[in-house]
């Protein structure tokens, strides 16, 4: 049977039906969430784990990027790009720290940007973190290095350089999608360099390290 046909059976998009909404209600979809349920899409996909096995994954994202995001993950799967977990952040009670500490790649989790009433990119389902334990959010606070998740520090926070080409190839040309830490910015340009001037530990270039 044709490989593309088989992949089409595993890579698909659906509306947020009642059963899915029950999983996210009060968690990633919080009571004060101004995003309409109809503006979100559920993605079922496959990914290669760090040991090369195939696993099912699921994401919720904004409908504006759903088609492109599915195409990107299909290309990454074909390229055997390793992603440890792709589960709804709600499986971790919508707790970003818990999800990142488990090296879970996730997308939608409603929140405002700190100290503002502006919906963050994750809050709108327009950003995704890839392997955040190994590609953490890094910032300097009062002269001290702050790393999220906290357990990322021993891992040296390095990018999987051997797979950069796969990410660039998959992301190129897909507009609006922001794959933070392995990614594509909203303008479609693939960036693997830290855009705040911060470098990851071990001398490796920082990936997108703005926490939004």
For 113-129, how does the pLDDT look when each residue is reduced to its tens digit (9 = 90+)?
878 899 999 999 999 88
Assigned domain for 208 exists: no
Assigned domain for 106 exists: yes
Assigned domain for 211 exists: no
pLDDT class of 8 with cuts at 50, 70, 90: confident
Assigned domain for 210 exists: no
- Residue ranges making up the domain that contains 142: 3-203
Assigned domain for 182 exists: yes
Burial 78-89 (b: 16+ CB within 10 A, else e): beebbbbbbbbb
pLDDT class of 135 with cuts at 50, 70, 90: confident
Assigned domain for 209 exists: no
What's this model's pTM, rounded to 2 decimal places?
0.76
- For 129, how many CA atoms within 13 A lie in the half-sphere containing its CB? 31
Assigned domain for 25 exists: yes
Domain count across the chain: 1
Assigned domain for 212 exists: no
């Amino acid at each position: 049977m044709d490989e593309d046909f088989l992949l089409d059976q595993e890579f698909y998009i659906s509306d947020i039906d009642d059963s899915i909404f029950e999983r996210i209600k009060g968690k990633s979809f919080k009571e004060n969430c101004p995003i309409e349920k109809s503006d979100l899409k559920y993605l079922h996909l496959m990914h290669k784990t760090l040991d090369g096995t195939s696993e099912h994954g699921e994401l919720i994202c904004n409908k504006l990027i759903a088609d492109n995001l599915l195409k990107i993950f299909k290309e990454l799967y074909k390229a055997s790009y390793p992603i440890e977990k792709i589960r709804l952040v709600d499986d971790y009670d919508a707790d970003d720290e818990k999800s990142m500490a488990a090296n879970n790649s996730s997308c939608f989790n409603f929140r405002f940007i700190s100290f503002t009433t502006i919906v963050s990119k994750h809050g709108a389902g327009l950003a995704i973190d890839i392997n955040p334990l190994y590609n953490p959010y890094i910032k300097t606070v009062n002269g001290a290095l702050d790393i999220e998740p906290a357990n990322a520090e021993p891992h040296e926070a390095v990018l999987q350089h051997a797979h950069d080409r796969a990410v660039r190839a998959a992301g190129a040309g897909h507009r609006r999608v922001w794959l933070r830490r392995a990614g594509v910015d909203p303008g479609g340009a693939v960036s693997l360099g830290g855009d705040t001037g911060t470098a990851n530990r071990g001398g490796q270039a920082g990936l997108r390290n703005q926490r939004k």
